[in-house]
Amino acid sequence: MSRDAIRGFGGKIIGWMETDNKGNMIIRNFYGQIVSKYDAQLDVTRDFYGRQLTHGNTAVAQLYNPESNPSYNK
């Protein structure tokens, strides 16, 4: 499993992308909390509750979506 940093506009790390050899992805925020998961076999992105969000890979985009991010404070 590879782990890559996701950086914001200022170069600051805002999250992490973990990818396995099958193409499945887990996106974590800066604090290590799971924001979204992508299942390559089903071609589905799910949120941290396991709810299906979209068809296709939009896992990294969910890091920027306040409603999908468990560390977002309203």
Give the CB-side neighbour count of residue 13, counting CA atoms within 13 A.
Answer: 12
- Taking the model in full, what pTM does it have? 0.83
- Beta strand pairing call for 52-55 and 44-47: antiparallel
Tokens coding 30: 């800066």
Domain ranges for the chain, please list them.
Answer: 2-64
In tens digits, the chain (74 residues) has pLDDT values of 899 999 988 899 999 999 999 999 999 999 999 999 999 999 999 998 899 999 999 988 888 876 655 555 54
